[in-house]
Structure 1
């Protein structure tokens, strides 16, 4: 059981009612709170929760249309995302109660101050290196407009300007990260056919690929609902069309791909995870056609070439700089 869930269950009497658990972990919490529903923006967590608690968890960027008189937000890493989520929940809770739970090292004490926008926050519990806070909602705020919270910036690329739209919580919100910047310079000479932007984030690489290879079919994939929504906004801002899907890792990707292009994710919450990236290296072969190419950017310290060569083929170093390297391998 996640330690944040354990803290909630120490106060289980407070939660034996119609309740929305926002950003909940994929553990057994729903089984202990029979009147609760879940809301997640992580496709992997949604799949796990749906398999065990069918119909009780919902995936997306807005609260589900289920009845609840109280809500618990599991604190996300991004302060901007937390602000949006708290407002979205509070808007549905006039006269209700809003709880915030999170790890101390995740910044729960500072984040609890965000509850002050709705009333007087109170700390209810502190255990398992986590804290639980509560605020009574007096006058509910207006429903926040998620798209109005987007940050937009323009990239001056060799084939013209590219407009990027990022939503709160999306990787590299409001700016171009160094790894993607380096990979954008190494998009020439990809095989023709179905292209995949794996871990698409705000859709920077995907949009650049679609413009560079307009006749190619393009799919963008990310585990996060806010990233999927951002990618769709970025494509629309540039007059481009492509398939955008939510899936938990490369196993949710199409097969028969001519190329996989990626700035693969390795951060999740306050912890660091490399699983999605390593799964990509191990499984890319099954998704690529013969001669298909994997091209990705990675931090220089990550020992990816041996994995690439073990599971795909000879690994080439295309470029390096600013602490990153571009690797390529063909099936």
Structure 2
């Protein structure tokens, strides 16, 4: 059981009714709270919860439509995403309790101050290196419109300027990260055919690929609902088309691809997690056609080359700068 869930269950009587659990972990919490409903924006966690409790968890960026008497937000990593989620939940809870739970190392005490616009926060519990806070929603905000919170910024490419639309919580929100900038400079020479932007984030690589390879079918995949929404907005802002997929990882990607291009994620919440990227390197060959290419950028300290060569084939470093490397390998 996730320690945050354990803290909630220490005071289970507070959550016995129709409670919305926002950002809930993939553990047995819903089984302990039979009237509760889940809302997740992480496809992997949503899939695990929905498989165990069919019909009791919704995936997406918007608060579920059904009525609930209280809500619990499991603290996300992004402060801006926390602001959006708290406001979206508080708008549905006039005079009702809104709870915030999170790990101390994730900054729960600081985040608890974000409850202040709605009422007077109070700490209910501190255990398992976590804290549980509660506010009765006395100042009810207007329901926030997610798209108005987007940050838009230009990115120069060899095929012209792109407009990137980034939503709260998306990797490198509102700016182009160093790794993607390096990879954007090395997109030439990919095989012709369907291409996948794996871990697409705000869709900057996918948009650049579609602009550069206009006759190639574009697929973009991310585990996060806010990234999926951002990528769709970025494609639309540039008059581009592509299939944007919410998926657990490379297992949910299309097959018979000519290329997989990625600035792969390796953080989930406050924990460092390389699993999705390592699985990509192990299984890329299953999704690439013969002669298909994997091209990705990664921190130089990560020893990805041996893993790529073990599962795909000879690996070439196309570029190295500012602590990042661009790797390339083709399926035999």
Same fold (TM over 0.5): yes
1:206-257 CA deviation, whole Å, 9 max, x = no partner? 0000000010000000000000000000001100011001001100000010
Aligned to 1:265: 265
Give the unaligned 5+ runs of structure 2: none
d(CA) in 2 for partners of 1:70, 1:42? 21
The 3-state SS of whatever aligns with 1:27 is coil
- TM superposition shift of 1:139: 3.5
Inter-partner Cα distance in structure 2 for 1:156 and 1:35: 50
In 1, are the aligned partners of 2:117 and 2:139 still within 8 Å (CA)? no
Secondary structure of the corresponding residue to residue 65 of structure 1: coil
Q: Matches of residues 33-72 of structure 1 in structure 2 within 5 Å?
A: 33-72=33-72
2:23 is the alignment partner of 1:4:
no
Q: Offset at 1:17? A: 0.4
Aligned to 1:217: 217
Structure 1 stretches of at least 4 aligned residues deviating more than 3 Å after TM superposition: none
1:311 aligns with 2:305: no
Report what 2:330 is aligned to. Answer: 330
User: Which residue does 1:151 correspond to in 2?
Assistant: 151
2:298 is matched with 298
In structure 2, C-alpha distance between the alignment counterparts of 1:66 and 1:276, rounded to whole Å: 33
**Is 2:281 aligned against 1:281?**
yes
Aligned CA-pair RMSD: 0.5
How much does 1:328 deviate? Answer: 0.3
* Greater alpha carbon shift after TM alignment, 139-148 vs 126-135: 139-148
Cα distance in 1, alignment partners of residues 286 and 160 from structure 2:
35
**1:138 maps to what in 2?**
138
Matched, 1:178 2:178: yes
Report if the CA contact (8 A) 2:165-2:234 is conserved: yes
SS state of the match for residue 63, structure 1? coil
State the shift of 1:196 in Å.
Answer: 0.1
Distance 1:139 1:120 in 2: 10
For each residue in 1:100-146, what CA deviation from the matched residue of structure 2 results, as whole angstroms up to 9, or x when unmatched? 00000000000000000100000000000000000001142100010
1: CA distance, partners of 2:33 / 2:4: 14
Deviation at 1:66, TM superposition (A): 1.6
CA–CA separation in structure 2 for the residues paired with 1:94 and 1:139: 8
- Which residue in the other structure is 1:74 paired with? 74
Structure 2 match to 1:251: 251
Q: CA deviation at 1:65?
A: 1.1
Distance 1:140 1:214 in 2: 47
1:215 counterpart SS class: coil
Q: Does 1:99 align with 2:96?
A: no
CA–CA distance in structure 2, aligned partners of residues 229 and 2 of structure 1: 28
* In 2: Cα distance, 1:180 partner to 1:139 partner: 41
Q: TM-score of the superposition, structure 2-length normalised?
A: 0.99
Aligned length: 331
In 1, the alpha carbon distance for the partners of 2:67 and 2:114 equals 24
SS of alignment partner, residue 236 of structure 1: helix
Alpha-carbon distance in structure 2 between the residues aligned to 1:62 and 1:84 = 10
Gaps of 5+ in 1: none
TM-score normalised by the chain length of structure 1: 0.99
8 Å CA contact retained: 2:314, 2:330? yes
Cα offsets for 1:149-195 (capped at 9, x unmatched): 00010012222111000000000000000000000000001001110
